[in-house]
Amino acid sequence: MRIGSSKELNQETLTSLGKISAASDWRGAGETIDANLFRLKALHKLMQAAEDCDADALVDVDYREEILPRTEHPGATPLKRVCATAVAVKLKSA
């Protein structure tokens, strides 16, 4: 699975299969675990989703954090996760 920007893969002919997304598991917003670990988990799940749709590469991967407030219990720690999105593409050598 190749990962890059559309500029980096400009030597290839790209056929877009569509935008896909995946997310890490939810965790407590106050946890001090390295955020890069959760980015890698989201990327791994994104790569699995790309393979499921027979993609050769992911283009323009983007990450964002989602926060879920826990209003059912006042004072409860909110949850957060990392979401990754990208365009899944099929490559054809130029």
| pTM listed for this prediction | 0.82
Task: Provide the pLDDT for residue 94.
Answer: 43
d(CA 79, CA 27): 5
Query: Percent of the chain, pLDDT > 90?
Result: 54
Task: Provide the pLDDT for residue 61.
Answer: 94
Kindly report, residue by residue over 52-87, the tens digit of the pLDDT. 999 999 999 999 999 988 877 778 889 999 999 999
Tokens of 58: 């992911």
What does the chain come to in residues? 94
Q: Tell me the three state secondary structure of residue 47.
A: helix
